[in-house]
């Protein structure tokens, strides 16, 4: 089962053991990770699940699709090259150890 670390803006880290097939967003919500909202329920339309993916996992996680990239450009406060929507990152064993930063705000 993949372990995911969510690092808050003030440096607090919440480590979650997720299920294969969870998304970064759904695992966060189930474990009460602060700062991940997931307002649209994972439908790639609200951008309230924005995270910054740390190296060396950026390559494994991959780039956002076209719609996701548009949502990031239009909907997040601080888009970066490592921005992804947590609901669009589906977890597998390869992503065990993934570290993501949670932005200080989702709006």
Contacting positions for ligand FES (CB under 6 A):
25, 38-40, 42-49, 85, 87
Least distance in Å: CB of 66 to ligand FES? 14
Say how far apart CA 91 and CA 107 lie, in whole Å: 25
Q: Closer CB to ligand FES, residue 85 or residue 99?
A: 85
Least distance in Å: CB of 29 to ligand FES? 9
Q: Closer CB to ligand FES, residue 19 or residue 56?
A: 19
Least distance in Å: CB of 101 to ligand FES? 16
> Beta partners for 99?
5
Eight-state DSSP code of residue 88 = G
Say how far apart CA 80 and CA 93 lie, in whole Å: 26
DSSP states of 57-89: SHHHH----HHHHHHHHHH-SS--TTEEEGGG-
Q: Closer CB to ligand FES, residue 11 or residue 32?
A: 32
C-beta nearest to ligand FES: residue? 87
């Amino acid at each position: 089962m993949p372990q995911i670390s969510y690092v808050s803006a003030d440096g607090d880290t919440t480590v979650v053991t997720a299920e294969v097939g969870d998304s970064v967003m759904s695992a966060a919500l189930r474990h009460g990770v602060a700062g991940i909202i997931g307002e649209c329920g994972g439908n790639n339309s609200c951008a309230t699940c924005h995270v910054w993916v740390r190296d060396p996992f950026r390559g494994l996680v991959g780039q956002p699709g076209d719609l996701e990239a548009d949502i990031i450009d239009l909907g997040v406060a601080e888009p970066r090259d490592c921005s992804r929507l947590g609901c669009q990152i589906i977890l597998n064993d390869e992503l065990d150890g993934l570290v993501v930063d949670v932005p200080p705000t989702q709006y």
